[in-house]
Chains A and B, each alone.
Chain A
Amino acid sequence: MLSRTAANLYWLARYMERAETAARLLEVGERMSLMPNTEGNRNEWEPLLQAAGTYAGFKHKYGDAVQRNVESFMFFDRDNPSSVATCIAGARENGRVVRTALTTQVWDALNTAFQELKALERTARSELPLTTLTEWTLRHTAQVRGAIDATLLRNDGYDFLNLGYFLERADNTARLMDVKYFVLLPRVEFVGSGLDNYQWTTLLRALSAHRAFHWAYGGEVTAGKIAHFLILNQQCPRSLRTCIEGATTHLERLSRGYSKSTAAQTKVRKLYGELAELSVDDVFDEGLHDFLTRFIREVATVGAVVHEVYLSGDIR
């Protein structure tokens, strides 16, 4: 497969997953802003932008983190490389270039999302409550994902798409968990309080994993259980371990298909091995924020190696 084709598929997937995360982040922000404010000047929207890694860009353009501005920035703003609009347009453009590597159904789902996005951009903002925007995004990202799973040939293109999805999702789950860190940072005594639990629950809801958590762990919500669920549980579709396992599977498939193993397989196996050995206590010993920061960096390294050995076409 042409390196450029593989790169377009990989980025198509990353953009779709990133659009989904932007919508989920907005949902976390809104739910957190609905809870009783016990802290005086506490602002729920700033930590969200910090977790997304876009706070500086936002501050520069909009100033205060009020809901309407955050919505504009995270959903509509084409200057924000992680906004839903930027990501959907980017995914569609990548798809258009590799039309021949996609089924009609995948293209249809992508193109429909893009056409509807353009309609949303023309709609008065007063007619677009936040839930409409987040639900719209989740519906369309699911449609594209579903079309890929239902119709696409299981060849190397499918592996590059999935690699994009899993690496982006690993990064995004880590970032979503970090919101929690940024929110809680000021006051350590909130740990274990009702407020703390409300925040953890909100995070679960945003990941559409609220009920799944209860099925897996029973009624009680604790930081340890949620951290276990989102980092180490193999049943959770967005846990870090599941994502890295997925990335490993698809990289292994590539090396079998090409009869050639590369630095990408070595790198991802090492990361997966580490996660498989890990306990929640290890994570808290290291410090959740420090662990997540390190993990995000590791995932970025895997991405860089994948780019180098498969997508750049420069390896002779």
Chain B
Amino acid sequence: MTTFFNEMYEAGATRAPYRQLDAWLEAMPAELRSLKQAEAENLFRRIGITFAVYGEGGDPERLMPFDMFPRVFAQPEWRRLEHGVVQRAKALNLFLSDIYNRGEIVRAGIVPRELVYCNAAFETAVVGFTPPQGVFSHIVGVDLVRTGPDEFFVLEDNCRTPSGVSYMLENREIMMRMFPSLFRENRIAPVDSYPVLLRRTLASVAPKKCTGEPTIAILTPGAYNSAYYEHSFLADLMGVELVEGQDLFVDGEFVWMRTTEGPRKVDVIYRRVDDAFIDPLCFRADSMLGVPGLMDVYRSGGVTICSAPGAGVADDKAIYCFVPDMIRFYLGEEPILNNVPTWQCNKRDDLKYVLENLGELVVKEVHGSGGYGMLVGPKSTKDQIAAFRERIIANPGNYIAQPTLALSTCPTFVGEGVAPRHVDLRPYCLVGDKVTLVPGGLTRVAMNEGSLVVNSSQGGGVKDTWVLAE
């Protein structure tokens, strides 16, 4: 029987960061709790904080389940995480800069050539190009899990357009509105500087042809995208335009927005559109979401695209295994945050081990996301395991496997009261001329008892994440 680290209780006592919450929990009768829960849901619905789930029928504009019980970090715990995440974000960017230029890490034999150059996310269009400040991935979302008081593991890196940061901000807003006394009694570090920091980060990577205050825009696929709420929310908070491809055009050396006062030059585009769709002249010709000619302007230094096309090579689950080596190679440091031990099915010995131990492992597709296309061995039936075995044998290079981690749990309000549920954490690291992190992140929680899958598409919810000030 696996025992799970409980974020709040250790050896029958309440851990220090959670002490104030004891009294709060005590003073919360069931009626008040359901009242507050309804209030929170009403707020989410009125503000319009929804996410879309495709292809499953039902309401396409779903509410994200929100749990009112916060997840808390003491300052020293957070410091360590912060350093670890910053270190990782720096190494990932150095890696990207390297593989699109000299490729030293490949020549040194540390990362296999084919994993980089045969990678579907590798973008030949940016080979030999170095973006402003050498930054390819400007917003790095690092998914972390905890297994003990001092044991954190990185599950995966998100170097393209990690989403969910609007939940981090809105969860905090809603908690402050509903439980102001909690914020009076605890010293909780604010996260609301995130949009200011994001704006500053984007401005710091303005292209070399930009003179004066850079104009920033967020590029969205449109109102039907599942993360549209987040796109408009960030545009609002940063005071920048939210544009669609049709609002932009290329003329001469620059990209322009169509405005009521005529064309206006755009210097930095925070795009929430995938590589394949940003420029039909360079990538998918059938796409209407992008801007014809955008890549030419990008490569000639007329506009900065965040994240850079091709940044996806670094958050691949196969490349993930090499991040600790990257940290040693580029920074000459020991990794602060560990990887989860990972077996790569394209290696013969690893494959053998994985096939023999499928029942205990979590197997993931290299390019999968959102909790789809994975096998959680201990939670699967014999038939499911057998079916997955076939898929792995047919295409071993497409799979990696990890041990089932004893994910920490956090008290969570459930139907019958308060019960432990598994959580993970995604902090958002901003990379520009500086590398910064707000004290907090998105805690995702598996609302179903025993479930280890926290993705929103799989019934996961969210919690406010507190970092206590010193």
User: Are B258 and A314 in contact (CB-based, < 8 A)?
Assistant: yes
Among the stretches B184-192, B260-268, B293-301, the one at the interface with A is: B260-268
Partner of A99, one of B48, B243, B259: B48
User: Are A2 and B48 in contact (CB-based, < 8 A)?
Assistant: no
Interface: A215 (CB within 8 A): no
- How many angstroms between the C-alpha atoms of A3 and B258 in the bound complex? 6
Chain B proximity of A247: nearest CB distance (Å)? 16
- How many angstroms between the C-alpha atoms of A99 and B325 in the bound complex? 45
Residues in chain A near residue B251, CB distance under 8 A? 316
Residues in chain A near residue B47, CB distance under 8 A? 104
**Contact A1-B263, Cβ < 8 Å, known A99-B48, A100-B232, A100-B236:** no
Partner of A1, one of B48, B244, B259: B259
Q: How large is the interface on B (under 10, 10 to 19, 20 to 34, 35 or more residues)?
A: 20 to 34
Residues in chain B near residue A3, CB distance under 8 A? 247, 258-260
Partner of B247, one of A4, A107, A315, A316: A4
A239-270 at interface with B (beta carbon < 8 Å): 254, 258, 260
- How many angstroms between the C-alpha atoms of A2 and B222 in the bound complex? 14
- Taking CB as reference atom, which chain B residue is nearest A306? B260
- How many angstroms between the C-alpha atoms of A9 and B258 in the bound complex? 16
Interface: A313 (CB within 8 A): yes
Chain A proximity of B96: nearest CB distance (Å)? 32
For A96, A310, A313, the residue with the greatest tally of chain B CB atoms inside 10 Å of its CB is A313
**Contact A258-B260, Cβ < 8 Å, known A4-B247, A100-B236, A313-B247:** yes
Residues in chain B near residue A99, CB distance under 8 A? 48, 232
Chain B proximity of A195: nearest CB distance (Å)? 49
- Taking CB as reference atom, which chain A residue is nearest B48? A99
Partner of A2, one of B46, B223, B232, B247: B247
Residues in chain A near residue B222, CB distance under 8 A? 97
Chain B proximity of A116: nearest CB distance (Å)? 16
User: What 1/0 flags go to B210-223 for Cβ under 8 Å of A?
Assistant: 00000000000011
- How many angstroms between the C-alpha atoms of A7 and B149 in the bound complex? 55
Interface: A28 (CB within 8 A): no
- Taking CB as reference atom, which chain A residue is nearest B263? A316
Residues in chain B near residue A204, CB distance under 8 A? none
User: Are B262 and A315 in contact (CB-based, < 8 A)?
Assistant: yes
User: What 1/0 flags go to A94-108 for Cβ under 8 Å of B?
Assistant: 001101100010011
User: Are A2 and B263 in contact (CB-based, < 8 A)?
Assistant: no
User: Are A97 and B260 in contact (CB-based, < 8 A)?
Assistant: no
**Contact A2-B257, Cβ < 8 Å, known A99-B232, A100-B232:** yes
Residues in chain B near residue A4, CB distance under 8 A? 244, 246-247, 258
Residues in chain A near residue B260, CB distance under 8 A? 1-3, 6, 156, 160, 254, 258, 310-311, 313
Partner of B258, one of A2, A96, A100, A160: A2
**Contact A258-B261, Cβ < 8 Å, known A2-B243, A97-B223, A99-B232:** yes
Interface: B253 (CB within 8 A): no
A154-191 at interface with B (beta carbon < 8 Å): 156, 160
New contact pairs (19) apart from A254-B260, A310-B260, CB-CB < 8 Å:
A2-B243, A2-B247, A2-B258, A2-B260, A3-B247, A3-B258, A3-B260, A4-B258, A97-B222, A97-B223, A99-B48, A100-B232, A156-B260, A160-B260, A313-B260, A313-B263, A314-B258, A315-B262, A316-B251
Identify 27 residue pairs between A and B in the complex whose beta-carbon atoms are under 8 Å apart, listed by A's number. A1-B261, A2-B241, A2-B247, A2-B258, A2-B259, A2-B260, A3-B258, A3-B259, A4-B244, A4-B246, A4-B247, A4-B258, A96-B223, A97-B222, A100-B236, A100-B242, A104-B46, A108-B46, A156-B260, A258-B261, A312-B258, A313-B247, A313-B259, A313-B263, A314-B258, A315-B262, A316-B251
